[in-house]
Structure 1
Amino acid sequence: MKSHLKKASLLVTGIMVGGKLMAQTPDTTGSSSNYAQPFSGDLRTWSIGIHGGLLSPYTFIGSMGNQDFRSPHEQIGYGAYIKKQILPSFGLQADFLRGKVEGGAAQLTGSGNQPSSFSTDLNWSAALKAHFTLANINWRNKKSFIQPYLGVGSGVVAYKSTVNYADGTSATTTDKDRHEFFLPVEAGFKINLGPSVNLDLGYQVNFVNANSFDGYNYGDNNDRFSYAHVGLEFSLGKSSKPQMATYNPVNSMRTEYMNLTQNLQGELDAQKAENQQLRNDLNTTNANLAKLTQDSDGDGVFDINDKCPNTPSGTKVDGSGCPLAKPEVKVYVTEEDKRVVRDAIKNLEFDFGKATIRSTSNPSLDRVAQLLVNKNFSLKLAGHTDNVGSDAANLKLSKDRAEAIKAYLVSQGANPSRIEATGYGESQPIATNKTAAGRQQNRRVEFTLY
């Protein structure tokens, strides 16, 4: 018994280590390895498996007291299968099984040489099973790490039985394999080790349609045996495609919905960005158009065509924005105009030695300013002094007095560009500087109207 358990332990350990090594293959497909577009059929449906475990006449269904032999002796069994997954929860599986089933403590039927144990060589068994995968439908997880399963089917078992008797003799039931119909029922679960490898742990009860599987007939019950196994399942096809047996269709539908939502949001964001760019382009175009139609100085000519910008308001301009030349008007100086100028000269007084105009001179100067405004005359002011003082001081004083008169006339509205103020100092006397009267005549400002 201990040797059989040791063999079974070594077998299980070998299979699990092999599965662990196979599972070390890196999953290059990332988180999308168990995703396929719903209803696309882009899934792996074929798989093969190998397994090994313990064969025993004991089953958890019923009692050993009702079987031909009451003491199970576990033996090593092994097998393989090929499976076609039709739906995520349903597939068809073709099984092969081989091994040995042994037991002792026979149910005695009377006196004489009674059987003590049996040994049945299970040369092969072949069965077709319906395989139901459970708990692979989940809204939250892409796939379950563990997939429980149930299986039921039918097939043929080929065996040869040997019965050992109390006196040490043995007898084989037949020289050739006996073939009987049997019904396998199994339960177990698979653990995902990688995108293409699953660890298979299961327990199978096999109901043989005969009472001769153990080579000994006792009572009316058909024989049965069990098979507890551990194995590896390998999914066939590209590892980038998910296995249908571990595939979660409802989660893929959820993923598809989320992907579609994300894509739609991306398209919406892209459309918003495009609309914003169009708005920016439109604003730029409007700004450029505004520049093309801008008239900063209000002369009726757009800035882009205005060759004379900043024209004073109200100025008439030509097509290029430049002021129109005013028609030249010929001005005639009348005797009355000359009289106004003479009065201004006659009444002009300054503070002694200064360029300050006395207020008594203002009325006559106001009339000269009005004359300049009304008739747009030009006026030349020439300042003169006597010879008292230095030449430089006299030159400066004559210039300052002429400028003072110009400043006053401008303050009354005269055009400064039509008034010229010049100082000559003592260089142009009109009388002698030896007498007070002569010096008085030389201290003057001459007005030349034109």
Structure 2
Amino acid sequence: MNYSTIKKAVTCSLIAALGFTGAAQAQDTKVFGGRSQYRTWSIGVNGGITSPNVLVGGSNSFGRQVGLFEHPVREYYGINVRKQFSSWFGLQLDANRGRIFAHNQDGLTETASWPAAGADPNQTYQSAETDVQYAVSLNGVFQFATIDFLRRENAVNFYASVGFGLMAFNPVMYANNDATGTAWDNKGNWGQDPFNRDFQGDKDYSRTSFVPVGLGLKFKLSDRVALDLGYTMNFTDSRSLFGPVVGNTSSDKFSYTHAGLEFSLGSRDKEDLTWANPVATLYDELKDPELRNEVDALKQRVSALESTVEALSTDSDGDGVADKFDKCPNTPAGTQVDGSGCPIKFPEPDTASLSTGSYPNIQFEFDSSVLKTSSYPTLDQVSADLRESGATLTLEGNASEEGTEDYNYQLGLDRANSVKNYLVNSGVAADQVNVVSNGELKPVASNATEEGRQLNRNVQFKK
């Protein structure tokens, strides 16, 4: 595969990844709350060694008959900034600099295809050291596996990366394989086509594009810090990375093996999206005793409700209210009745005895309108008071500030309707209960802390 094909494949892969990530994120927003509940930015530093060859093979200007691990290494280091778009994909900007060294086996030399001004055109060279002034690239980072995938918070992540970048470099060729002897150095003379013998230039570094392809492993050291171990193969678009060698027909390449630290940025109250595991969230019932107990309690309640279905279907006076909840049995046929089975023409009951201030707020979990079993005793008391007094009640649904204002308004309305459905199913007349939503506009506590946000996910009772 030539360099042009590699560039096209990388470009198509990044565009497809960004498009699929956008679609996946739109779906995640409905299920998991979206990126707003996570930290998505990180910055990292790294350092390591370079080698003038890559694991997939191929040839360079130097390196004939030299084993894969027989080249002396040189230092290389850099920084990176990453934006995480989902639990499996992010975009990372990398900036590196350092040196690369390459040499032939003893006795094997290369000849420069165009000598520096004043250099001996018959001189041969056995090694080269390249100074990389900078290498900047934009990379797509794919997290494709974790060792502890069924845990809510991962601790070890595998990743692969591919990208495209630009680098500036200057090679120096030496007569010996230990960077000694007569040297060829074109620094200060770069600027035009190096394969044109009559070229003139005044630049210290040549420039080329390159494609980095890497693999790595990350270890979570703390909530903010991760250890990054990686290996990157860099495929350049230059045949002069190690100097202009006669007969070199393929683009040069080198590898970078590194270790580094990555630091997560953002609010400490949010989870780092890099380590989030949405699949494990679906298995909470397998590992969360509190949730399992709640599910078991709901199953028992459903079983009890099923056993009373036959009794609830009995309506002796035919007024549409089951005998179990009919406070006015034997109502004459055709009489309009309320939810308690009593004629609507009866005098309005005294509502002064209903005190909403005595009822605690009904609390909900994050992004949920499902009633918790711990709320049932309060709701049963409210139902009994409403059926006894005939009073009316307003339910105000509220939400914390996660998500958009429109989404939180609907979430508050869903929570208020959940409470109303419970009361109506327990025998309260539907017209005794009104529902409104405040969304995120009337918090009872600060939304700056998780404790405050939990208190703001509620339904309040108002006259």
Structure 1 length normalisation: TM-score? 0.49
Indicate the structure (1 or 2) with the bigger Cα radius of gyration.
1
Structure 2 length normalisation: TM-score? 0.47
